[in-house]
């Protein structure tokens, strides 16, 4: 089988396992999982090295204010001991799943992860987070 056929077979298997395209199936017994399915089950969203893709044009982009503020906020959370760099990387690159990994901007994943960690570790409640988001949205409406 050619490399292209192997890649397409792998991507088709992975596509069946993704939440957006999920097809209900029974969990197979270990002896029924072939190498291709094992690779698809163990693949994480950010593990794209060597996979087929389109060429991407490299462009310098000036960082937006919200991106800079997100970076600083996440660094402060680390300084305060809320999380460490490995936990942040794991939660924003591996645990988010393919749909969010590909659908959110880079610092968008940082921001979402920071909110999840603050709620999960009970530094804030979900109600407090939602209230603060509503407050910030209202502030933004003033300037429109």
Rounded-to-integer distance, Cα 130 and Cα 133, Å: 5
Residue with tokens 């310098």: 60
Cα–Cα distance list, 29 to 23, 64, 107 (Å) = 18, 49, 39
Q: Tokens for 96, please give them.
A: 């988010």
Which among 29, 38, 106, 107 is annotated as catalytic? 106
106 catalytically annotated: yes
Q: Could you tell me which residues come within 8 angstroms of residue 88 by beta carbon, excluding any fewer than 6 positions away? A: 74, 78, 110, 113, 117
Question: E strand or H helix at 134, and its extent?
Answer: helix 126-142
> Where in the sequence numbering do the catalytic residues fall?
106
């Amino acid at each position: 089988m050619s490399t292209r056929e192997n890649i397409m077979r792998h991507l088709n298997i992975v596509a069946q396992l993704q939440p957006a395209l999920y097809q209900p199936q029974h969990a197979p017994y270990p002896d029924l999982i072939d190498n291709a399915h094992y690779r698809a089950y163990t693949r994480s969203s950010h593990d794209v090295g060597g996979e087929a893709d389109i060429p991407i044009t490299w462009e310098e982009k000036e960082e937006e204010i919200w991106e800079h503020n997100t970076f600083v906020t996440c660094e402060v959370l680390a300084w305060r001991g809320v999380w460490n760099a490995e936990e942040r990387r794991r939660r924003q690159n591996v645990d988010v799943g393919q749909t969010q990994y590909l659908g959110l901007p880079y610092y968008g994943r940082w921001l979402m992860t920071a909110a999840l960690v603050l709620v999960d570790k009970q530094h804030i409640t979900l109600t407090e987070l939602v209230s603060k988001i509503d407050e910030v949205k209202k502030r933004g409406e003033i300037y429109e």
